[in-house]
Amino acid sequence: MSTQSNQIQFIGAYAGQKNPGANSSAAFALVTNLGSEPVNIIKWKSTTVPMVMPMYFGLDQENIWRMIDVPSKKVNIDPGIPTLFAPGYLHIMLNNLTSELPDSFDITFTIECKSGPVFEKTVTFETVEWDQLAKQNILSKPVL
């Protein structure tokens, strides 16, 4: 049986408020797949944010640390292995912002199961100020 929408969970979904003068920010969550097969997030959209896309912070071809686009725009979520979208790691980039983010907003993810079925999952993200991240118990990086 294919993985269902309720088997993909976004835990602790939040976004950092855009900084004054900036036109982008980022969103984060811990994603778990309670299904029995791998899935890929293949599309990212929001009625609030003009452009939503996966990016990660890593070494580029010149061994310089920078933000790097995920060229395929696909992110794999394996069953039983949490996938972390976190600052300084894989994250959900929010681009082309013309105003502050609202207190909460939705992102709709199109998810494709390995066996073929495709479904959408809408997740509400809470907006927090960047300076509050260190003061609150908010997921910020993986614990190894």
Name the token pair of 135.
Answer: 């003061």
Structure confidence at residue 143 (pLDDT): 37
Domain coordinates in residue numbering, the chain: 5-130
pLDDT of residue 140: 47
Spatial distance between the Cα atoms of 43 and 19, rounded to a whole number of angstroms: 26
In order of 1, 3, 43, 97, 98, the CA distances from 102 in angstroms are: 38, 31, 22, 11, 12
The CATH topology of domain 5-130 is Immunoglobulin-like (2.60.40)
- Other beta carbons within 10 angstroms of residue 31's beta carbon come to 21
pLDDT in tens, 34-84: 999 999 999 999 999 999 998 887 777 888 888 888 877 899 999 999 999
Has residue 139 got a pLDDT over 60? no
User: Does residue 144 have a pLDDT over 50?
Assistant: no
pLDDT score, position 134: 55
Provide the mean pLDDT of the chain.
87
Full DSSP string of 127-144: EE-GGGTTTTT---S---
